[in-house]
Amino acid sequence: MWIPKSAAEVENAAARADLEETHTFDAKKGLPPAKKNHDIAVDVDAMTVDGGSIVYGLGEDKNKRLTVLAPFGLAGAPERIAQIVETGITEPPFIRVQTLPLDIDPSKGYVLVIVPQSPRAPHQVIADGDMRYYGRGAKGNRVLSEAEVAALYERRERWEVSREELLRDELARAPEQKPELGYLVAFARPVVPDDSMVECVRKDGNELRNLLLQGAQSWGDVRADQEGTRYDPDLRRATYVRLRGAAGWTITTEHEDDGDPQYTAKLELDFDGTGHFFCGRIVDTMHDSDKRIMFDTMLAGNLASFFAAMGAFYEAAGHVGHVDVGMALTNLEGSMPTPLGRQPLLGPAAAEDCSRDGRGASRRSEGRGDDAHPALPGRHAGDVVHAVPGAADGLTRRRCLHSSPRRKPARRWKEFGKPRGQKAVTEYELSGAQTPSASQLRCRRLPPIAGGVAW
């Protein structure tokens, strides 16, 4: 799929006269008049079967070569295309509309429509009462036959995988559960499989590791890093890479496959582009005590690193399309959330952790009582809500503010989501930070899955 990044790239390709229409690329001299909005719906619908791109503002010469540049006014064009797709195709497919403005006159340029291969194809054109299904031939659009429509419905069923099944598979991949620890597992999976995706990106294991770690490090740092506290395990510091036979590659913090889960953050990348993540120390148990702590920072940081790494990989592979993502936590019951830099003394993995006072001075945690740790329940500068076993609606966390007299609120986030069967507005705010941690979110747990908690 050709996806030009700028108007200059379109113009250079036209000057070389090497562009031609294919089953994944189409070009039009301009947007049709309002009376022919149906044409836009057909162009987009035809691309949903195999995916492709459409450039508006590029026409054919008398030899049927795409060499005629026809930039036009961009105002309102993306909105018009999006509205036609929403109202003229059922069910409306996902598309991305981008403008490619001219350098000399940004009000004019070209419009690029990116149409990923749709897992929900076939889509029916209903504009002007058409009621037909379209696909692409070698050089243009065509009406799909009854047999082709039936085959696409069968493909849709093959590609549909339940959320619960995917999460159960991830939990089954995790090491044997240690009672003192809580695990994090996550996955990112292209809905449309491509067994050659890894081969398109990497030349060797080290190159693949560098790509993934650069992506993992690109999203930024959590607040604990800003205060000088490192957490362990951390996917961004994975140094070992190895081939998993015919399955794919592994990037991990541990030298051995059966290393201690407590120190393991591991990303496994299958050849079809599916990523699996495991972190073995989201929950830990206090030394000489049965109190269990959940590390908000480690959870938020590693999860963000994993998804950022997979995003970098998909971009390098040129993947355009839908991706299933999910995560689950195990052995969470009875744990209490706390920022990493303020946790009480835990097992051996926590021996080197430090906390800071209100002036930013570093001090080592050495088994002080609860009163010395303002992050323990009752000591937060805000609300801390524990996981309540058997709660009817699952675990709910209220807004939690971590404030300091020397800091002013830096940002406020709002996230609007619509979970199944309910409307929800999630909002969270914090002081002097870039990324919210898990305890600063107000969220609702999905139904429990055997062996873990799905979010």
pLDDT in tens, 195-215: 888 888 876 788 888 899 999
Question: Given a cut of 70, is residue 223 above it in pLDDT?
Answer: no
* 106-110, 221-225, 321-325: the lowest-pLDDT one: 221-225
Sketch the domain layout of the chain as residue ranges: 7-158, 163-372
Q: Token pair 């070569």 is at which residue?
A: 65
- In the chain, the percentage of residues whose pLDDT exceeds 90 is 41
Tokens of 182: 């809580």
pLDDT band at 73, cuts 50/70/90?
very high
Q: What is the pLDDT of residues 47-66, one digit of tens each?
A: 999 999 999 999 988 888 89
Segment 23-30 shows an average pLDDT of 93
Q: In this structure, are strands 89-90 and 362-364 parallel, antiparallel, or unpaired? A: unpaired
DSSP code of residue 418:
-
Average pLDDT in the chain: 75
pLDDT at residue 203, as a whole number: 65
Q: Where are the beta strands (DSSP E) in 214-295?
A: 240-243, 248-252, 265-270, 275-285, 292-295
pLDDT at residue 373, as a whole number: 33
Cα separation, 170 vs 173, in Å, equals 5
CA torsion sign for 219, 224, 227, 228 is: negative
Q: Which CATH architecture has domain 7-158?
A: 2-Layer Sandwich (3.30)
Tokens of 181: 């620890």
Phi-psi region of 316 (alpha: psi -120 to 50; beta: other; left: phi over 0): alpha
